[in-house]
Amino acid sequence: MDKKLSRRSALKFVAAGVVASGVSGCVSTNTKTNNPSVKTGVIETQDKWHKTHDRVWLGGEFWANPMEDWQVKNGEAQCLSKGGNRSIHSLTHQLTNVNSEFNISVNLKRLEQNVKDGGAGIRLGARSDLNEYRSNCFIQEGYDCGVLDNNLVLGDKKIPLAIDITNKNISLHLHGLPQLGAMSLKLIAKDTASNKIIGELTHLEPSERLLGNVALVSNFAIASVTTNPTPIANQGCRYSFSQWVLQGEAFSVTDEKKFGPILWSMYTLSNSRTTEGYVMKINAFTGPLGDKDNQTLELQVKQNNQWVSLGKEALNNDGWVATFRIANWNETRDTPYRIVYIEKHNDGSETPDIWTGNVKANPKGSKLRMAALTCQNDIGFPYQPVAENVAKLDPDLVFFSGDQLYESHGGFGYIRSPDNKSILNYLRKFYQFGWAFRDVMRNSPTVCLPDDHDVLQGNLWGEGGATMKNPEKDFGASILGGYIQSPRVVNTVHRTNVGHHPDPYDPTPTNGISSYYGDLVYGGVSFAILADRQWKSGPESINVEVGVTGQDEDPLFINPAYNPPGLDLLGKRQEDFLEKWGKDWNACKLKAVLSQTVFAGIATHQPKPDRYLKYDFDSSGFPASARNRAIDIMRSSMALHICGDTHLGSLSQYGVNKQRDSNWAFCTPAISVGWPRWWNPDTADIPYKNRPAHALDQTGEYLDTFGNKMYIYAVGNPEVGRSENRYVHAHEKGSGFGFITFDTEKLTYTLDAYKFLVDVTDGKASNQYPGWPVTIHQKENRGENIIS
């Protein structure tokens, strides 16, 4: 389909007969109107690998750990790694009903021998602190049943097998029978060629130990490591699995828990202010497919109770994403949509997969309501309290400001090269983000910015797309400037995060890396979308050792060596765009700047409340002269700056020539805090003036360590996370999200900063961090202050 295809032109496809109103199959429907149906596993269920084309992705019924170490080949799920604890979890079946019986069987074989054998087989009781099926997928322990060193293993019991299985295909059969509050387990191993039993074990196990996910595991007796490639000392054998069968009333079966083939979608709707009118763009994701798989998706919309095709798009084979762009969209009404994928099997059969959602009408009236989120460390995955609260608020727009993933996501480390492996490693982590928030994004326009961790770097000073020099000195990519990953990998990150955004202002690449900055006009508000890091100057230019330099200085000393002339923050291209955007009031009454992080150093202590860190060069308070230049440009737009990244919620006002002469900035709390930060200037004896009328500690007019003027109105300082429950732990560490209501009639912004573990609908003042909610008038963003 032509990327510039208008809605009117697309309807010509209908006249030609391209209508798919009769498509039926597996439907991922809007959860507002469809509650998942849980049933028992009376009916036997088997994997479909025997009729799946060769590919990386194992299918929507499964989660593979890690995805890049598995493939379907010749009808089997093969592990590509000798590393420990490589697993395949069933997403649809969980063992929950301990008063009923179950049967599990699977065929397995060794693909590659090794001196050390880590075993292979079935894992029961894979259970997180939540016992929630997605979080359970990342637990690398449970009750293991299988073969190890030519022994049959059932929990902590083992016996020698009757034959050498080195070159044998064997089948495992596990039966569970409830017995007075416990489960009687029987494990049988057979030689598949002769169907003879070669080992049998029985054991009575407390039922509680078996609850949770069920998985297949290659090398269950070897702990995984985060080093890539896996050191020889941590390697076992490679195994493959086939004909995995699950049956029994002990299983709760929920077909809606499938994740794919269509994983999720993200869309935007924007007034182009051209003859193309409103333009709707949508990204739709699948798992990584194979050469013989169908690689096209179809977009349909509902009109007059009929599903009408707006055309097909091919998947990009790096990001496994299809992007649809429809001009002249009817923005006056809600439009149900669905994305259709026809999965083709190697036996000639086909299975449709349908993902549904709703493109909202351009908001009517004077109010636009936006959720603002940032930083989702997977120690809090799947972030249900935040995801459910955002869904309850039903925002008109959703903004993710970056760090949709961290390098540690899902375990197993990260991969720098080769590119194809690095991309799969990235996608596997990125999929956790979509898995957690897809039911919000399917119905609300979504802006999604990549940040440093999204490109697998601890910090990013992009220097206009420069390649990092001497990366061997900084494998974690948190000290040196430039990009450590290749342009192909970075562009995949950009494509998957921002491909559905309105067309960029100037897409010219920088040293091969794509550019995505531009604007979005929606609900009477114009949003400037910026890349804080892509042109930012690196610390080598001023001979800084990140995390060390300056620690011996007086906290009040502003070192001029760290603000020499010629340094960049946004870079000239974005500065020129921002200046032009600030003067364009066509089709908008309010403005906001969306970027990764706050233009000030609002953190004194990290990652402990008693560890003072003077300079955080990751903050966009550095470099100060470029920061002031950006704010000088932004001031005339009277835009509210909305951002994240610091893991510390804050509301501040910038100053350049004097305190409080410029825009306000709302840095939202992190969805799930990993590395905590505190703003405790009072304990560091940093002076302030003009504390706000609410008299909260740590507020007032300050200079940050780079000399930037800033008025701190509110902060959401964390506690020290101590709880073993991930959701309570996230709450303690200051996690949560932001919410902004734009009122284009009153010309105001009302800001909310919600804590992690609350119910946003119960109206409790304690749901928000101290100092919120706050209402700011538009003119206050150019220093005409009302708030005191």
Instruction: Extract the tokens encoding 175.
Output: 């039966």
Give per-residue pLDDT as tens, 616-636. 999 999 999 999 999 999 999
If we measure between CA atoms, which residue out of 65, 70, 72, 59 comes closest to residue 26? 59
Residue 20 has pLDDT above 50, yes or no: no
Residue 84 confidence (pLDDT) = 97
If we measure between CA atoms, which residue out of 385, 424, 369, 484 comes closest to residue 752? 369
Longest CA pairwise span in the chain (Å): 86
Residue 9 confidence (pLDDT) = 39
Residue 21 confidence (pLDDT) = 42
| DSSP string covering 468-491 | PSSGGG-TT-SSSSSBSS-HHHHH
Pairing of strands 26-28, 350-359: parallel
Phi–psi pair at 735, nearest 5 degrees: -80, 165
For residues 655-678, average pLDDT: 98
Q: What is the pTM of this model?
A: 0.94
Q: Where are the beta strands (DSSP E) in 586-639?
A: 590-597
Question: For residue 178, with 0-12 CB atoms within 10 Å meaning exposed, 13-18 middle and 19 or more buried, which class applies?
Answer: middle
Residue 3 confidence (pLDDT) = 39
Rounded-to-integer distance, Cα 776 and Cα 64, Å = 47
Residue 723 confidence (pLDDT) = 94
Contact at 8 Å (CB) between 317 and 284? no
Report the percent of the chain where pLDDT is more than 90.
90
The residue type at 484 = I
Helices (H) and strands (E) in the chain, counts: 8, 37
Residue 28 confidence (pLDDT) = 66
Residue 549 confidence (pLDDT) = 84
Instruction: Extract the tokens encoding 10.
Output: 């697309």
Give per-residue pLDDT as tens, 393-408. 999 999 999 999 999 9
For residues 478-492, average pLDDT: 96
Residue 65 confidence (pLDDT) = 97
Contact at 8 Å (CB) between 473 and 480? yes
Residue with token string 């992705």: 57
Rounded-to-integer distance, Cα 326 and Cα 5, Å = 6
The secondary structure of residue 659, as a DSSP letter, is: T
Contact at 8 Å (CB) between 622 and 708? no
The residues, ordered by sequence, that sit 6+ positions from 54 with a Cβ below 8 Å of its Cβ are: 71, 72, 73, 74, 290, 291, 292
Helix (H, G, I), strand (E, B) or coil at 310: strand
* Dihedral Cα 89, 94, 100, 104, nearest 10 deg: -20
Give per-residue pLDDT as tens, 677-699. 999 999 889 999 999 999 999 99
Average pLDDT score, the chain: 94
If we measure between CA atoms, which residue out of 771, 534, 559, 521 comes closest to residue 653? 771
Rounded-to-integer distance, Cα 393 and Cα 398, Å = 11
Rounded-to-integer distance, Cα 225 and Cα 220, Å = 13
Residue 70 has pLDDT above 60, yes or no: yes
If we measure between CA atoms, which residue out of 398, 342, 285 comes closest to residue 644? 398
Residue 726 confidence (pLDDT) = 96
Question: Is the omega angle on the peptide bond into residue 160 within 30 degrees of 0, that is, cis?
Answer: no
Residue 592 confidence (pLDDT) = 98
β-bridge mates for residue 181, sequence order: none
Residue 552 confidence (pLDDT) = 86
Rounded-to-integer distance, Cα 189 and Cα 182, Å = 23
For residues 475-502, average pLDDT: 96
Contact at 8 Å (CB) between 574 and 535? yes
If we measure between CA atoms, which residue out of 655, 771, 662, 775 comes closest to residue 704? 655
778 falls in which pLDDT band (50, 70, 90)? Answer: very high
Residue with token string 């990140």: 546
Residue 26 confidence (pLDDT) = 61
Residue 619 confidence (pLDDT) = 94
Rounded-to-integer distance, Cα 367 and Cα 103, Å = 55
3-state helix, strand, coil in the chain (%, to 5): 15, 35, 50
Rounded-to-integer distance, Cα 287 and Cα 451, Å = 23
Residue 35 confidence (pLDDT) = 63
Residue 547 confidence (pLDDT) = 84
Residue 19 confidence (pLDDT) = 42
29 falls in which pLDDT band (50, 70, 90)? Answer: low
For residues 3-7, average pLDDT: 40
Residue 170 confidence (pLDDT) = 97
CA distances from 42 to 90, 91, 435 (A): 16, 17, 28
Residue 180 confidence (pLDDT) = 87
Question: For residue 290, with 0-12 CB atoms within 10 Å meaning exposed, 13-18 middle and 19 or more buried, which class applies?
Answer: middle
Contact at 8 Å (CB) between 617 and 627? no
Rounded-to-integer distance, Cα 703 and Cα 545, Å = 22
Rounded-to-integer distance, Cα 312 and Cα 322, Å = 9
Contact at 8 Å (CB) between 710 and 620? no
Residue 5 has pLDDT above 60, yes or no: no
The secondary structure of residue 552, as a DSSP letter, is: T
Question: Is the omega angle on the peptide bond into residue 231 within 30 degrees of 0, that is, cis?
Answer: no
Contact at 8 Å (CB) between 647 and 676? yes
Residue 39 confidence (pLDDT) = 77
Residue 42 confidence (pLDDT) = 85
The residues, ordered by sequence, that sit 6+ positions from 576 with a Cβ below 8 Å of its Cβ are: none
Give per-residue pLDDT as tens, 338-382. 999 999 999 999 999 999 999 999 998 889 999 999 999 999 999
Residue 740 has pLDDT above 90, yes or no: yes
Which strand (E) or helix (H) includes residue 76? Answer: strand 76-79
Residue 428 confidence (pLDDT) = 98
Inter-helix orientation angle 419-441/384-393, to 10°:
50
For residues 183-191, average pLDDT: 97
| DSSP string covering 503-545 | PPS----BTTB----EEEEETTEEEEE--SSTTPPPGGGGT--
